């Protein structure tokens, strides 16, 4: 699927881009190159190929989930104008 100059002009107008004639031609070439690459990739046979979760098969080292800091909620809420049950109370903005 090759884009024409009018296609690129429509895309530029929808994207609110002002392109000069040189930029329009360069953009058309770049977009057509992208579409050509996609067409080539779609022709690659992938039957029987398992999808990969990550390009590098590696195991992540996970640390133990342990508390490393003290709970300082009361300290942080001392300067708040309104607090109830450990939650900040704010004025109603929307009905």
pLDDT tens-digit readout, 37-58: 999 999 999 999 988 887 887 7
Exposure of 86 in the CB half-sphere (CA atoms within 13 A): 3
At residue 63, the pLDDT reads 86
| pTM for this model (two decimals) | 0.52
Domains of the chain and any CATH numbers: 5-42 (1.10.20)
Which of these, 39, 41, 35, lies nearest to 4 by C-alpha position?
35
59, pLDDT greater than 80:
no
Number of CB atoms found within 10 A of residue 27's CB: 18
Average pLDDT over residues 1-14: 92
At residue 95, the pLDDT reads 78
Quote the CA–CA distance of 75 and 86 in Å, as a whole number.
11
Measured over all CA atoms, what is the biggest interatomic distance in the chain, rounded to whole angstroms?
64
């Amino acid at each position: 699927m090759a884009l024409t100059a009018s296609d690129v002009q429509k895309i530029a107008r929808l994207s609110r881009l002002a392109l000069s004639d040189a930029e329009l031609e360069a953009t058309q070439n770049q977009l057509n190159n992208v579409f050509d690459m996609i067409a080539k990739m779609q022709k690659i046979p992938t039957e029987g190929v398992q999808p990969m979760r990550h390009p590098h098969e590696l195991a992540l080292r996970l640390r133990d989930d342990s508390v490393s800091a003290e709970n300082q909620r009361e300290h942080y809420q001392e300067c708040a104008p309104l607090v109830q049950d450990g939650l900040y109370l704010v004025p109603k903005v929307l009905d």
